[in-house]
Amino acid sequence: MAASNQSNRVALITGANRGIGFEIARQLARREYRVIIGSRDLKSGLGAAKKINAGGSVQVEAAELDVTDEKTVRAVESMVRTDFGRLDALVNNAGVLLDEGALPSTTTPEVVRSTFEVNLVGAWRLCNAFAPVMKKRRYGRIVNISSGAGSFEELSGSTYAPAYSVSKAALNALTAKLASELSEYNVLVNVMCPGWVKTRMGGPGAPRSPAEGADTAVWLATLPDDGPSGGFFRDRGRIAW
């Protein structure tokens, strides 16, 4: 059973209280999605939801969600099942950059574990939580937010942020695996690079706005049934793994 129209559809975006995640939430709300802002700090999430809701008759709410904490993930899963009975779009936006300026040979195991726990395991945890309801309804869109730093084409010859880059390469691999598993259920799974965006992570010198960074994620979250799956995208175009 596929979703009938966008005004009935439900989207969850992790790390959506600011930056690219906030902009993805705002753009999906404009498309009449019922949006859930996932935020480690509920107060920040509620503030973000209030900002979006102030723009009109959209339906945005916030939920406490730490992708590294199984309890909060299960709580959000239970809330989604009880309140909506469905999840049509999952955007795994939450991420950390902890080792900018480090070298592969000096990055500590602690930093590697912390990075992978958010950037890979956290996204995987959310996919495991919500893939079953998408499979049951035979409709879903999963969008993983990666980086060009995770492309093997760009990894070659670069030492940039090794834990971050390798975690994003692993997220790309997870995307391909999930796309293969879920294709028969009309669940499209893709990964995208937003580019260098002016956010707290990207810094004030970044050339792209959050709206520009969010555009491809929103496009992937709202793909038609004959849309692509298992791809890596930037600016709505495929890029090399």
Model pLDDT for residues 21-59, shown as the tens digit of each residue: 999 999 999 999 999 999 999 999 999 999 999 866 678
**What is the C-alpha separation between 142 and 217, in angstroms, rounded?**
10
What is the set of domains in the chain, with CATH numbers? Answer: 6-238 (3.40.50.720)
Catalytic residue (choose from 33, 139, 160, 164) = 160
Structure tokens at 169: 């390469």
Do 2 and 9 form a contact (C-beta atoms < 8 A)?
no
Q: Does position 2 have pLDDT exceeding 80, yes or no?
A: no
Cβ neighbors of 116 (< 8 A, separation 6 or more) are: 163, 167, 170
Report the distance separating Cα 140 and Cα 143, nearest Å.
Answer: 10
Name the CA radius of gyration of the chain, rounded: 17
Is residue 139 annotated as a catalytic residue, yes or no? no
- Over residues 118-145, the pLDDT tens digits come to 999 999 999 999 999 999 999 999 999 9
